[in-house]
Amino acid sequence: MKYSEASFLLSPYSEAAGDVLAALLAEVGFDTFVPAADGLKAYVQTSVLDADAVASLAANFPFPDVAVSYSIKAAPDENWNATWEQQHTFEPIDLPGGKRLMVVPRQAFGSGEHATTRMMVKLLCSLDLQGATVIDAGCGTGILGFAALLLGADHLVAYDIDEWSVANALDNLRLNEIDPACAEIREGDSSVLTAADMADVLLANINRNILLADMPTFAAHTRIGGHVLLSGFYEDDVARLRASAEALGLDFVGSEADGEWRALHFLKSR
Question: What's the rounded Cα separation, in Å, for the pair 65 and 77?
Answer: 36
pLDDT score, position 90 = 58
Give the mean model confidence (pLDDT) for residues 98-126: 75
Give the mean model confidence (pLDDT) for residues 74-93: 58
Query: Where in the chain does DSSP place strands (E)?
Result: 3-11, 32-36, 39-45, 67-74, 93-94, 100-101, 133-137, 155-160, 183-187, 199-205, 222-234, 250-258, 261-268
Give the mean model confidence (pLDDT) for residues 66-92: 68
Which of the four pLDDT bands, split at 50, 70 and 90, describes residue 86? very low
pLDDT score, position 158 = 96
SS3 annotation, 151-181: CCCCEEEEEECCHHHHHHHHHHHHHCCCCHH
Cβ distance 157 to 184 under 8 Å? Answer: yes
Of 23-27, 133-137, 152-156, 194-198, the poorest mean pLDDT is in: 23-27
Mean pLDDT, the chain, as a whole number? Answer: 88
Give the mean model confidence (pLDDT) for residues 29-41: 85
Strand partners, 231: 205, 263
Q: Which range in 11-15, 24-28, 130-134 is most confidently predicted, on average pLDDT?
A: 130-134
pLDDT digits (tens, 9 = 90+) for 178-205: 999 999 999 999 999 998 999 999 999 9
Which of the four pLDDT bands, split at 50, 70 and 90, describes residue 111? very low
| Percent of the chain with pLDDT strictly greater than 90 | 58
CATH 3.40.50.150 domain residues, the chain: 84-268
Q: Kindly report the CA angle at 142 between 22 and 88, in degrees rounded to 5?
A: 60
Residue 77 confidence (pLDDT) above 70 = no
Among 104, 103, 107, 99, which residue's Cα sits nearest to residue 125? 99
**Whole-prediction pTM:** 0.71
Question: What's the rounded Cα separation, in Å, for the pair 33 and 223?
Answer: 34
Residue 87 confidence (pLDDT) above 60 = no
Question: What's the rounded Cα separation, in Å, for the pair 104 and 44?
Answer: 20
DSSP characters over 223-250 = EEEEEEEEEEEEHHHHHHHHHHHHHTTE
Cβ distance 194 to 188 under 8 Å? Answer: no
Give the mean model confidence (pLDDT) for residues 153-168: 90
pLDDT score, position 152 = 95
Of 39-43, 78-82, 141-145, 153-157, the poorest mean pLDDT is in: 78-82
More confident call, 81 vs 265? 265
CATH 3.30.70.260 domain residues, the chain: 3-77
Q: How many CB atoms lie within 10 A of CB 131?
A: 10
Going from the C-alpha of 188 to that of each of 173, 192, 193, 194, the distances in angstroms are 18, 6, 10, 12
Residue 108 confidence (pLDDT) above 70 = no
Give the mean model confidence (pLDDT) for residues 61-84: 78
What CATH topology corresponds to 84-268? Rossmann fold (3.40.50)
Going from the C-alpha of 11 to that of each of 32, 34, 69, 167, the distances in angstroms are 22, 17, 8, 35
DSSP structural state of residue 188: S
Torsion over CA: 30, 35, 38, 41 (sign):
negative
Q: Kindly report the CA angle at 93 between 37 and 148, in degrees rounded to 5?
A: 120
Cβ distance 253 to 266 under 8 Å? Answer: yes
Cβ distance 85 to 190 under 8 Å? Answer: no
Cβ distance 207 to 214 under 8 Å? Answer: no
The CATH classification of domain 3-77, taken from the options 1.20.1290.10, 2.60.15.10, 3.10.400.10, 3.30.70.260: 3.30.70.260
Spatial CB neighbours of 37, under 8 Å, sequence gap ≥ 6: 13
Which amino acid would we find at residue 266?
F
